[in-house]
Amino acid sequence: MQSAHPAITIFHNPACGTSRNVLALIRNSGVEPEVIEYLKQPPGKERLRALVDAMGTGVRSLLRQKGTPYDELKLDDATWSDEQLLDFMVQHPILMNRPVVVTPLGTRLCRPSETVLDILPSPQQAAFRKEDGQPVIGEDGRRVD
């Protein structure tokens, strides 16, 4: 039985395999997180800034290039300020890289999907394989590296 755990939030895109794997790993720890489909419910500038601050990695680390208007907007130009980049992400939520997970142990962009294991407060409850069949958690409950 999974328990609701509002202290864990995933900014999720159900069309993204990595995002689906991360959500499944969270659930495999016995937790049902708050799921925010950020393309339907964009986080807004203040929330984006808070996520970036919590990650401690800078705004550019949250930008997604593939399958977005990144190139046409010339966002690789170093003259864009963090505030301007946040504005672009608000205007074009697809520019937000995913999945971002917030737990009591930290906030991370979880790429690759196994990254989420470092910030989950509860251990994995069962063996786990990614959608492509790659093992992540073995039958013994330990991470497969």
List of residues 6+ apart from 135 with CB closer than 8 A = 127, 128, 129, 144
* Catalytic residue chosen out of the listed positions 16, 50, 73, 90: 16
110 is known as an active-site residue: no
Contact predicate 40/86, CB 8 Å: no
Question: Does residue 57 sit in helix, strand or coil?
Answer: coil
Nearest to 92 by CA among 48, 36, 35, 34: 48
Residues with a known catalytic role: 16
